[in-house]
Chain A
Amino acid sequence: MSGGIVSKDVVVVGGGLVGAAVAYGLVRQGLSVVMLDEGDVAYRASRGNFGLVWVQSKGDGLFDYARWTRSSADLWPGFAEELRGAVGLDVGYRKPGGLHLCHSEAELEEVDLRLKRLHNQAGPEGYQARLLDRGELDALVPGLGPEVVGGAYSPHDGHVSPLYLLRALHEAFLARGGRYAGESRARSVASDGAGFLVETDAGRFRGERLVLGAGLGNRPLGALVGLEVPVSPLKGQILVTERADRFLELPTIYVRQTEEGTVMLGDSHEDVGYDTFSKPSVMSEIAQRALRSFPVLRQLKVVRAWGALRVMTPDGFPIYEESESHPGAYAVNCHSGVTLAAAHALRLAPLIGDGGFARTLAAFSSRRFDADASRG
């Protein structure tokens, strides 16, 4: 690339589900945007996502998160339609409600307690997830294994193809005049008086505002512009099977059947740093749990297993932060980039550059960790 600097209203660092959703939301507002992305091989939590658009169980401990998640789920149907209209791609979003199946009374009780807590915190606005007994589950989903004792259902839950979503976001972003710079890994960011300069492997980019949507990369980059982003990797493994005839319409938290008919199985949590290798023992546990829910899947074959790194904050809730020392620089982090894609595009993006960002999203500021530390 020549010595020229690409200059836009906003530079978005990160072309994953978070970066692409925010970038799309920004071009949708009429801003000029460049989205910086890495190359073909990178950590890319977005390529490892399970695909749930999930409301139930979110926000236990921070009800603002439950509200934020619910708002995204409410926006999702229109968002999916908007993407289909923009680029002719059906991202496969379906909202038949979702299930958390429990395999023991202890698990059921834990889920019940959580629902009650969320219900209490919701107050008059209500919380629509509810517990179902085995009989009610059988009416919804045939073929459940004998160990399934009950579960939780929420009408707000759904699922989508995370890969088609990412592709649609990229195409919709380009269709509205967004500029995409691939193989442009950000090496440094700095304020240059009137905006921000980003140095990448493939050239320099300048924006009046800077949005960091680079997942785990937000930590080192954020530090350069006064943003504290305490994120760390938490590995999850997923299995996907060959295509099956349709047997499951409702997504469940560990098993869902995609539009193509393949079945996705999750999940796991391993604190192993930056290792993304698939471990057979973990693959086996995932398979065991799937068969406890749906023994009919015994002969269905796993075609692929992969590991990806969730971007975890200390409490699991998003970080939405505008820098105090470098106003105009923002960090956006979460581990639910699929569920929150609609809110990121349609609610969060419009707040970039708007004085209301910090106020509206105060609950998700990373300063809450300082407060916890001082209380601790």
Chain B
Amino acid sequence: MLTRLEDESEGAETGRQAPAQVIRFTFDGRPLTGRHGDSLAAALLASGVLRFRVSPVSGAPRGPFCLMGVCFECLVEIDGVGNLQACMVPLEEGMAVRTQGGGVRVVAGAAGTSEAS
């Protein structure tokens, strides 16, 4: 659904490393790639991923809306930390990203239970 413009040869003019550096990451275990300078959200969208999370209220699928850190729809889990705005996080090599499902995972496994009365 997104394609990249072919203009990476201009990198030298702006002082950036040229050509564009490919960055590898995973999303729900799937290997994907992005480019140096991508936000995680842009890299996911450019890889064809539209659904980033499910709403904790209804389970409805949600994806990025504003891409400027206002809407909080692009929340994903990155390297075990939940509810991070993908549009505000620069893509880094080896990131393990997961769909944000419902609440943030605090304790894997059994929660505190009440004493049987």
> In this assembly, does A140 line the interface, its C-beta being within 8 Å of a C-beta of chain B?
yes
Instruction: Give the residues from 103 to 117 in chain B that come closer than 8 angstroms, CB to CB, to chain A.
Output: 103-107, 109-115, 117
- A247 and B114 contact, CB distance less than 8 A: no
Nearest chain A residue, comparing its CB with the CB of B75: A242
Partner of B83 from the list A141, A153, A242, A247 (CB cut-off 8 Å) is A242
- Of B56, B105, B111, B115, the residue contacting A248 (CB under 8 A) is B111
Q: Which residues of A contact B102 (CB under 8 A)?
A: 243, 245, 261
Q: Is A247 a contact of B115 with CB atoms below 8 Å?
A: no
A297 on interface, CB distance cutoff 8 Å: yes
B103 A261 Cβ-Cβ under 8 A:
yes
B64: Cβ under 8 A from any A Cβ: no
- B34 in contact (CB, < 8 A): no
Interface string of A233-244 (1 = CB under 8 A from B): 000000000111
What number of A residues sit within 8 Å (CB to CB) of B?
25
A374 part of interface (Cβ distance < 8 Å): no
Contact B82 A247 (CB under 8 A): no
Q: How far is the CB of B30 from chain A (nearest CB, A)?
A: 23
Q: When chains A and B are docked, how far (Å) is the Cα of A97 from the Cα of B114?
A: 7
Q: Check B106 against A247 for contact (C-beta < 8 Å).
A: yes
A307 to B75, CA, bound (A): 28
CB distance from A139 to the nearest CB of B (A): 8
State whether A155 touches B117 (Cβ < 8 A).
yes
8 A Cβ contacts from A235-292 to B: 242-250, 260-261
B106 contact from A153, A245, A249, A260, Cβ within 8 A: A245
Closest to B108 in A: A245
Closest CB in chain A relative to B99 CB, distance in Å: 14
Task: Report the count of interface residues on B (CB-CB < 8 A).
Answer: 18
Contacts of B104 in A (CB 8 A): 242-245, 299-301
Instruction: Please tell me if B49 contacts chain A, counting CB pairs below 8 Å.
Output: no
The interface residues of chain A lying within 8 Å CB-to-CB of B66 are none
Note all chain B residues with C-beta closer than 8 A to A296: 106-107
- Interchain CA distance A272-B43 in the complex, whole Å: 49
Q: Does A193 contact B (CB under 8 A)?
A: no
Q: Which of A136-184 contact B (CB under 8 A)?
A: 139-143, 153, 155
Is there a chain B Cβ closer than 8 Å to A77's Cβ? no
Are B113 and A249 closer than 8 Å at their CB atoms? Answer: yes
Choose from B82, B103, B107, B112 the contact partner of A250 (Cβ within 8 Å).
B112
Contact of B114 among A242, A249, A260 (CB under 8 A): A249
Chain A residues near B105: list those with CB within 8 A: 244-245
Given A242-B83, A243-B56, A299-B81, A141–B106 Cβ distance below 8 Å?
A: no
A82-134 interface (Cβ within 8 A of B):
96-97
Contacts of B81 on A, CB cut-off 8 Å?
299
Contacts of A243 in B (CB 8 A): 56, 102-104
**Complex Cα spacing A130 to B102, Å:** 36
In the bound complex, CA of A221 to CA of B72 (Å): 45
Question: Inside 8 A of A244's CB, which chain B residues have their CB?
Answer: 103-106
Q: Are B83 and A97 in contact (CB under 8 A)?
A: no
A261 to B101, CA, bound (A): 13
Q: Which residues of B contact A140 (CB under 8 A)?
A: 112-115
A142 and B106 contact, CB distance less than 8 A: no
Expressed in whole angstroms, the Cα–Cα distance for A141 and B114 within the complex equals 8
What string of 1s and 0s marks CB contacts (under 8 Å) between B66-108 and chain A?
Answer: 0000000000000001110000000000000000001111110
Name the CB-closest residue of A to B83: A242
Q: How far is the CB of A151 from chain B (nearest CB, A)?
A: 13
**What residues of chain A lie closer than 8 Å to B103, measured between beta carbons?**
242-246, 261
List 7 A-B pairs, minimum CB-CB distance, nearest first: A96-B114, A141-B112, A243-B103, A261-B103, A245-B103, A247-B111, A244-B106
Q: Footprint of B on A, CB under 8 Å?
A: 96-97, 139-143, 153, 155, 242-250, 260-261, 296-297, 299-301
- A sample of 12 cross-chain residue pairs with beta-carbon separation below 8 angstroms, ordered by A number, consists of A96-B114, A142-B109, A142-B111, A142-B112, A242-B104, A243-B102, A245-B103, A247-B107, A249-B112, A296-B106, A297-B106, A299-B104
**Given A142-B107, A244-B104, A245-B103, 14 other A-B residues pairs in contact with their CB atoms under 8 A:** A96-B114, A140-B112, A140-B114, A142-B109, A142-B110, A142-B112, A155-B117, A243-B56, A243-B103, A245-B102, A245-B104, A245-B106, A248-B111, A249-B111
